[in-house]
Amino acid sequence: MVDATTAEHTRGIRTVAEGILRGLAIEASGRVLVAAGPTLDVPAPLDVRRVPLARSRPGRLLYQRLLLPLDAGAGGGRSHGVDRVLLLDSYAPLVRPTKVRYAALVHDVLPLSHPEYWPSAKRLVKRTGFAALSRAGATIFTSSAFNAGEIERITGQRARTVTFGCGQLTDEQADEALRTPLRRRESYVVFVGALEPRKGLMTLVEIFERVARHAADLQLLIVGTGSTAYTSEVRRRVAACRVGSRIEIVSRATRDDVLELVSTAGALLFPTRAEGFGIPILEALALGTPVVASDLPSLRSWADTAVAYAPPDVPEAWVAPALAALDATEAARRSGQELARSYRWRRCASEILRF
């Protein structure tokens, strides 16, 4: 059984959930029951148990902490029981049925390693979640060796690394991008991600101000959503800068919209201050789009030399690598795709199924 109810409320987790479910649909077919909220797309032939409570965060937590064991213990109403439960978040139920083993996909421990970006309530919930995983004896999966090290350092629990797929790209789309000519690049750079302080959006505007001095027709697209208050703050910063007319915030982008914008961008700029994995980076590499990202151990641990790096809070240090990315050769763009070749959701599902 896979608990995917968290996907109703977190876009990054939703991307991972949809990718893993696509992989499980191929690798496991009728062996998997998915507990999902009302809107998550669950591919056939996976069985699905819709959880109306997941429409709200309190309802989802009520299901995960108290009601999920009832579904697992009863096999979700099916004729055979559930013997393993994969949680796509770090919140284990308070009790567990006999003979049911738990595993959890822990995306990161950022609320604990970078507490300045999260309220105290979120940090408490995260610590409580890890304590519950420990009591349940759960197997912990995560996306990189760096994250596994952070999980053990902060919580004392061991984690196994599994290989993600290329974000919102299906495996077939990622393979197709390798086989076909690279897309023609347009005169804009793009950021994709949540609009929140840790993503370095104010720095992004400063970076673009400096890069724009060397590229008269260049634009910046900021693709993502965030709280009303912070999004307004970003808009005010954009309006106040001298190249504000060349910056656009794209807040209503579908999955296909995002992939199209990334595939034809001159480069992806990713000045995050704290990151667990950085799925937009992998999406860009798979599509042949050059990337300049913050020089963080969590990103270097898997992206290695496929990405150009700059210090997250030093805007002037981004100019040279950004301009180089805009002039990247086809060979350089293809090298990013070669790194992304080993990231496929079907492989991720296969690694998880060994549990």
CATH of the domain at 307: 3.40.50.2000
- Contact between 278 and 261 (Cβ < 8 Å): no
Q: Is residue 175 part of a domain?
A: no
Torsion of CA 205, 206, 208, 214, to 10 degrees: 160
Place of tokens 């591919």: 43
Asked if residue 238 and residue 154 are part of one domain, the reply reads: no
Residue 168 lies in a domain: no
Tokens 């990337």 belong to residue: 291
Listing DSSP states for 71-88 in one string gives: HHHTGGGSSS---EEEES
Q: Are residues 139 and 205 in the same domain?
A: no
Quick check: is 254 in a domain? yes
Chain segment 11-57, per-residue pLDDT in tens:
889 999 999 999 999 998 668 999 999 999 999 899 999 999 999 98
Angle ∠(159,165,170) on CA atoms, nearest 5: 150
User: 60-64, 164-168, 313-317: lowest mean pLDDT where?
Assistant: 60-64
Q: Do 107 and 228 have their domain in common? A: no
User: How many CA atoms within 13 Å lie on the side-chain side of 171?
Assistant: 20
pLDDT tens digits, one per residue of 218-247:
999 999 999 999 999 999 999 999 999 999
Is 262 a domain residue?
yes
SS3 (DSSP) at 327: coil
Is 302 found in the same domain as 185? Answer: yes
Quick one: 130 and 23 in the same domain? yes
Q: Are residues 117 and 30 in the same domain?
A: yes
Tokens encoding 56: 């709200």
Q: List the structure tokens of 319.
A: 């100019």
* CATH number of the domain to which 136 belongs: 3.40.50
Same structural domain, 57 and 84: yes
Does 314 reside within a domain? yes
**Which positions ≥6 away from 251 have C-beta within 8 Å?**
224, 225, 231
Residue type, 190: V
Same domain, 205 and 155: no
Closest CA to 334 of 278, 293, 268, 287: 287
Whether 196 and 157 share a structural domain = no
Contact 244, 238 (CB under 8 A): yes
Q: What are phi and psi of 291, to 5 degrees?
A: -130, 135
**Rounded CA separation 299/307 (Å):** 9
Q: Where are the beta strands (DSSP E) in the chain?
A: 2-3, 33-36, 47-50, 84-87, 101-105, 139-142, 160-161, 188-192, 219-223, 247-250, 267-270, 291-294, 308-310
| pLDDT digits 0-9 by tens, 166-187 | 999 999 999 999 999 999 999 9
Q: Please check whether residue 151 is in contact with residue 110, taking contact to mean a CB–CB distance below 8 angstroms.
A: no
Count of domains in the chain? 2
Report the pLDDT value the prediction gives residue 78, as an integer from 0 to 100.
47
158 and 202 within one domain: no
Over 80: is that where the pLDDT of 81 sits?
no
Last residue of a domain, one of 162, 196, 219: 162
Q: Average pLDDT of the chain? A: 93
User: What pTM was estimated for this model as a whole?
Assistant: 0.94
Sequence-ordered alpha helix ranges (H) in 28-114:
57-62, 68-73, 110-113
- Domain membership of residue 167 (yes or no) is no
On whether both 111 and 18 belong to a single domain, the answer is yes
Q: Which of 131, 162, 193 is the C-terminal boundary of a domain?
A: 162
Q: Provide the domain limits for residue 273.
A: 181-340
Instruction: State residue 76's pLDDT score.
Output: 46
Determine, yes or no, domain membership for 174: no
- Give the residue, 99 or 145, on which the prediction is more confident: 145
Is 349 inside a domain boundary? no
Same-domain pairing of 117 and 52: yes
